[in-house]
Amino acid sequence: MRTGGGGGEQQALLRQILGWRVAASIAWSVLLLPLCTAVFISISSIDLFHPIQWISNSFNDWYTSYVIFCILLMSVVILIISIFNVEFYAVVPSIPCSRLALLGKIIHPRQVIHSVVHAIMGMLVAWCAAVMTKGKFQFLALPCTASESLDGAVQHMCLNEYHLFLLLSGAFMGYNYSLLYLVNNMNYLPFPVIQQYKYLRFRRSLPLLVKRSCVESLYFVRNVCVAYYFFGYIPRAWISTTMDLNTDSKLHPLDTLTGLLDLSLLYHTWLCGIFLLITWHIAWLLFKIYATEAHHFPVQPTFAEETDQCLPKILNSNPPLLIKFLALQDLMLLSQYSPARRQEVFSLSQPGGHPHNWTAISKECLNLLSDLTQKLIMQQEAAATNGRVKQLSAGELGRSLSSSAAVTEEIAFQTQRSNVVSKTHMPSLVKSSLLPLKALSTSDLGSSFGSPFSSPPLNHKAGILDLNSPWHGSVQSPHVMRRGPKLWTSGSDQQMNGSHPASFPVISVARIGSEAIQPSFIYTWLQNKQEQVRNFLSKRVLIMYFFSKHPEASIQAVFSDTQMHIWALEGLSRLVAASFTEDRFGVVQTTLPAILNTLLTLQEVVDKHFKLPHASSKPPRISGSLMDTSYKTLRFALRASLKTAIYRITTTFGEHLNAVQVSPEHKKRLQQFLEFKE
């Protein structure tokens, strides 16, 4: 679904960019509809023993009034389907981490409306297919073959169950299409890695589209037959009673094995499903192709009213996600293929001589990469503690606060006495991860400290160092993870380690301990009951079946929006590499230390992620399919892009990077890249 903020100007820009793309995709879908209809009519009336007559009858049927009416009706259906494609699109896939989350998405009111409308549209397409097929499928009511009335002059009308079966099949297929649309993330808009013409992208996907529609229709026919065998008598009896139609006793009912094994019925139901899926998939595919087409944003405005549409302005605002993705894609393309536009990025403002364009672009890219670093640290903290935090009672909480305050005062006293604070003991990763964090208010700090749902990542965010965290320690080696020093160390520990307690910056929590309010008895009792209920439910297999989280899905959800970070990496690194020869004013050199620190810190965090227990080190094999599943391998693309970006900078600048001011740990890591040892 569409997310993202933006003011009126950004929404107007979205309508301006997306409006003509939606209109063009709908127009082409409607224009291709007569061709699909002609192919359907020809195949549905195929007669290999009389080919000339078959071709002649097909040509005659193309121009009949009921076929033209069906094409107009299906054009309205395509329009409605396209509107739902526009309303439900997303550039960040929604990945449910548990079966309960998937069930919640299915019964969500928006999804229910989506499914009901698609079922109705599927029934309309099936009615058009039945009318164009003619024969025994054309009408819902037919004259009875044997009248059961005593008066032979009165002709009774009987229910045509073949027509009813096609209508119900269309509704069933439309509903299943809606479910697969949700489950397979068909609303996700994957941006192409290689830019191609729209026609080439459509032609490449057309064979996959036809193949998938044929195979999917076979499964739909199987499921329809099973459902009609058990429940087919319900709609048949209701339609017969409502429309006062009799049942023809000369014909076998279709809710029996004999009735369902009619090859003509199965063949035409399969063709109806193919016709429905191909027309809907074409509308969906054309919308994806048009919506993800690259858009060029001006770097500098030509006129004053174009300021809000410039690339630096859009990147530093809060536009809809589609606009932000298009802007980052344009940044990646200009950094790679457009020397003239790169000069606009490196240019200085007149008057004043300030690098506003480069400052805005580099700032947003660094913010995106820093946010990703923080998110990965929090995810890895949660994985290290298995997502659970030990609940403390009132007495334990008070004692822990008082002991923490006392120990903090003692360490603060020792620090003042030594008057030496060694920053080298604090890992570069922790330092870089804590610096960008915004200071929280006292209420936020207190709530995260005392909340029963608080977690180590939240403690990091509040500025409290979690000493049991795997991130509190040096992470310079990708193969060794060391724990940080404890606040107090026994004599035996010192003898075993052979070292003295290391000093590092301490965030005082004495005031928090003195002002902490002891939890009430009711609060403690509720927490104990909550833990008992959780333990009871965790032992029930059916409950855990729905509530248990899939590790791979959880990891995919963390990296679901990584495509824009990959573009930020590529765009930023290519601009830095190009500045070596194209930056006449040296505007990039002022931010080069921050860029290198951000990239190297992110490199450490990404390497740490791939060493988690449930993290796969190899990307899964993705076969050629119509449904895009590239979001499942975004973390591997991020790792490759990150390493390529650092190598792109180091190979361009070479030994000049030794003069850049970075931390000693990052300098060692940078030297490994310079020596091609990473």
Report how far residue 645's alpha carbon sits from residue 576's, in angstroms, rounded to the nearest whole number. 10
Query: What is the rounded average pLDDT for all residues in the chain?
Result: 80
Report how far residue 196's alpha carbon sits from residue 503's, in angstroms, rounded to the nearest whole number. 57
The 10 Å Cβ neighbour count of residue 671 is: 14
**In angstroms, how far is CA 169 from the centroid of its own chain?**
31
| Tokens coding 422 | 């060694």
Cα dihedral: 308, 309, 315, 319 (round 10): 80
Report how far residue 659's alpha carbon sits from residue 651's, in angstroms, rounded to the nearest whole number. 15
Cβ contact 673:650 at 8 Å = yes
Report how far residue 248's alpha carbon sits from residue 259's, in angstroms, rounded to the nearest whole number. 13
- Cα dihedral 515, 517, 518, 519 sign: negative
Phi and psi for 90 in degrees, rounded to 5? -155, 140
Cβ contact 611:470 at 8 Å = no
| Tokens coding 601 | 């810190």
Please tell me the pTM assigned to this model.
0.77
**Residue 159 has what DSSP assignment?**
E
- Tens of pLDDT, residues 501-550: 333 343 343 444 444 456 788 888 888 888 888 788 777 777 777 778 88
Q: Which spans in 292-355 are helix H? A: 311-315, 321-337, 339-346
pLDDT of residue 582: 92
Kindly give the parts of the chain with pLDDT less than 50. 1-6, 148-150, 387-516
pLDDT of residue 394: 41
The 10 Å Cβ neighbour count of residue 541 is: 6
| Tokens coding 124 | 């309309």
pLDDT of residue 612: 82
| Tokens coding 507 | 């965030």
Which of 359, 365, 271, 238 lies closest to 641, judged by CA?
Answer: 365
- Tens of pLDDT, residues 600-609: 999 999 999 8
| Exposure string for 285-322, b = 16+ CB within 10 A, e = fewer | bbbbbbbbbebebbbbeeeeeeeebbbbbbbebebbbb
**Three-state secondary-structure class, residue 662:** coil
Distances from the Cα of 622 to the Cα of 503, 619, 628, angstroms: 50, 9, 9
| Exposure string for 401-434, b = 16+ CB within 10 A, e = fewer | beebbebbeebeeeeeeeeeeeeeebbbbbebbb
| Tokens coding 459 | 């403690």
How is 245-310 classified by DSSP, letter by letter? -B--TTS--TTSHHHHT-HHHHHHHHHHHHHHHHHHHHHHHHHHHHHTS--PPPSS-SSGGGGGGS
Q: Which spans in 63-197 are helix H? A: 65-88, 99-106, 109-133, 161-183
pLDDT of residue 494: 40
| Tokens coding 319 | 């536009």
**Residue 472 has what DSSP assignment?**
S
| Tokens coding 430 | 């922790």
